[in-house]
Structure formats: structure tokens, C-alpha cells
């Protein structure tokens, strides 16, 4: 298979590295070439433009931030027209349900396949082989990309032949993660103001009540104030909350908690925290509770 991977940022870089380690030949394109140099040193081939990378590929994998970034690659970057008939677009990005549906139709009109495969896991999960992947698309297309997905993580959840289903599940999962961050932020604020250190509170809760890797990992980041080590930023968190609210609106499903999450992220972003890890939502809770950030 001739595989081109577009978008070698926080998640894309370790994903390409893992595919190279599994023996897949990979051509890569990234908006900033300097960020891709480590992958070139490990055997990846550089494409000067997205279209040049797409031309002649069997599988075009993309991992970019949002709908607009992907649309720019497809239209302005020329990927859609450059991909050969019969090639498959394998989208790892967290995009909207509506956009995923439109991509399926647009690729079909060009004689191309489309598979949505958003992932659960941060960059360290990719490197450690713990990534979980969702997957939806026409069965023939899914079978062709399955070896790639299985090389990236030990578990691939197949969700049928409608690609946008994978995006809806991904957004629903991120909605639940955001809810975990919200509850941790509120509970940490209450405990901290009463004199209980967040690390001790986390140990108690994760040992006695939930024993969840989400509580353990994000709780540690919050308790130890490692917000600068962003695996997923605040602005992307707001993006996903807005996308899940859009999907819920289309399906006429009330999500009361969604509005609370949106406002919590907006509060953090209004303070200029766009580039911090989305667990930095806790800082807004500390502020509302009158708890100094450096306490």
C-alpha cells in the first residue's frame, strides 16, 4: 500500500512513527516541515504539497485539528482532485457529524472511499500501544485500512458502514471526558478550600469510588498543575463541546450538561488559556471559589 499521512502534529507524529516501526512505507506532509524532520530521519518520505502526497496514494490518512483545516486540505490543498479513483481517505480527525457525511458523498463522487477512524488516547497512548480506535465506512474500504488501524492500537471498534457514526461516538466520548474534567474541577475546588490537597482527594476517590484511568490521568495533571503539557488544548475542548451540541440539536437530544461545559471552557479561554491542556478548566473553578492559582 502507498500510504500518505497528512498532519504530523501532537498525535500525527507518534502515529506515523508507530506505522513506520510496523514496516509501512509512509509519505508525509505537514504544514510546518521542521516538525516533520524527526520522521524523515526515521524513513518517512516528504511530499512538497498535500496534492503531491495524495497523487498516486492508495490510502490518504489525515490527522488535523478541525473541519476547516481538513476542508482547506481537500479544496485549497487539492487533495480531493489529486487522489486516484479507488483510493481511500482515512480520517483520524475529530470532525463534525455533518462534515463527515459530506466527505463521504464528495469522495464517492470522485470514485474514492472514505473511512472515519477517530481515536481515543493522548500521544503517550500512541507511543505505548494503548490507543483505541473507532472505525466506520463501507466494508470493502474498512477491510483495506484495517491493518493500519491494528498497527496503531490493540482495539478497533467497528461501527458499521456510515462513517459519521464513528464521529458521533467520538464526540460523545469527548463529551464524557469533558464532564469528568468538570466534576474534578468542582470537587477539587471544594476539597482544596477545605484544606484537603487535590492529590490526596484524588487518591481517595480513585481508590474508593471510580478507579478510572481518566480520573487518575487528568486528576494528576490537575493536582500537579501540568497544564502546559497539553495533550489536548482548551480551544479544541470547546470545539468538541460545540460539535456535540450541534449533533444533539440535529437529533433533538437534550444535553443540559453541555451548556455548563461550554461555559466553563469559554471562561478559561476568556483568560487566554487556549494553548493549555483542557484540564486547565479547573483554573476557572479555583477563580470562582476564590482560591489563588499558586496555592
Catalytic residues: 170
- The neighbour count for residue 199, using CB atoms within 10 Å, is 14
- Length of the chain measured in residues: 295
User: In the numeric block, which cell numbers belong to residue 223?
Assistant: 493536582
* Structural contact between residues 23 and 3, judged by C-beta atoms closer than 8 angstroms: no
HSE (side-chain half, CA atoms, 13 Å) at 106: 14
91 φ/ψ angles, rounded to the nearest 5 degrees: -100, 115
CA–CA separation, 103 and 52 (whole Å): 20
Indicate the helix (H) or strand (E) that contains 15: helix 12-21
DSSP state string for 260-284 = HHHHHHHHHHTTT-TTSBGGGGHHH
Rounded Cα–Cα distance for residues 280 and 295 (Å):
15
Question: Is 120 strand, coil or helix?
Answer: strand
Amino acid at each position: 500500500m502507498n500510504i500518505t499521512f497528512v498532519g504530523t502534529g501532537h498525535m500525527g507524529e507518534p502515529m506515523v512513527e508507530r506505522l513506520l516501526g510496523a514496516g509501512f512505507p509512509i509519505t508525509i506532509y505537514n504544514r510546518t516541515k521542521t516538525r516533520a524532520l524527526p520522521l524523515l530521519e526515521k524513513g518517512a518520505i516528504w511530499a512538497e504539497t498535500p496534492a503531491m502526497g495524495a497523487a498516486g496514494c492508495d490510502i490518504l490518512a489525515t490527522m488535523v485539528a478541525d473541519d476547516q483545516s481538513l476542508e482547506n486540505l481537500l479544496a485549497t490543498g487539492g487533495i480531493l482532485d489529486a487522489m486516484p479513483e479507488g483510493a481511500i481517505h482515512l480520517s483520524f480527525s475529530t470532525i463534525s457529524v455533518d462534515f463527515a457525511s459530506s466527505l463521504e458523498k464528495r469522495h464517492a463522487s470522485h470514485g474514492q472511499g472514505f473511512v472515519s477512524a477517530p481515536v481515543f488516547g493522548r500521544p503517550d497512548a500512541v507511543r505505548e500501544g494503548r490507543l483505541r480506535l473507532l472505525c466506520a465506512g463501507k466494508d470493502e474500504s474498512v477491510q483495506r485500512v484495517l491493518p493500519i488501524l491494528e498497527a496503531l492500537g490493540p482495539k478497533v471498534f467497528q461501527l458499521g458502514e456510515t462513517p459519521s457514526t464513528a464521529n458521533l461516538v467520538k464526540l460523545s466520548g469527548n463529551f464524557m471526558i469533558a464532564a469528568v474534567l468538570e466534576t474534578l474541577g468542582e470537587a477539587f475546588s471544594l476539597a482544596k478550600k477545605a484544606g484537603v490537597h487535590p492529590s490526596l482527594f484524588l487518591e481517595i476517590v480513585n481508590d474508593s469510588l471510580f478507579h478510572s484511568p481518566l480520573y487518575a490521568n487528568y486528576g494528576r495533571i490537575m493536582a500537579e498543575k501540568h497544564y502546559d503539557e497539553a495533550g489536548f488544548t482548551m480551544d479544541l475542548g470547546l470545539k468538541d463541546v460545540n460539535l456535540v451540541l450541534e449533533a444533539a440539536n440535529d437529533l433533538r437530544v437534550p444535553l443540559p450538561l453541555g451548556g455548563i461545559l461550554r461555559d466553563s471552557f469559554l471562561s478559561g479561554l476568556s483568560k487566554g488559556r487556549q494553548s493549555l491542556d483542557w484540564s486547565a478548566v479547573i483554573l476557572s473553578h479555583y477563580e470562582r471559589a476564590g482560591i489563588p492559582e499558586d496555592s
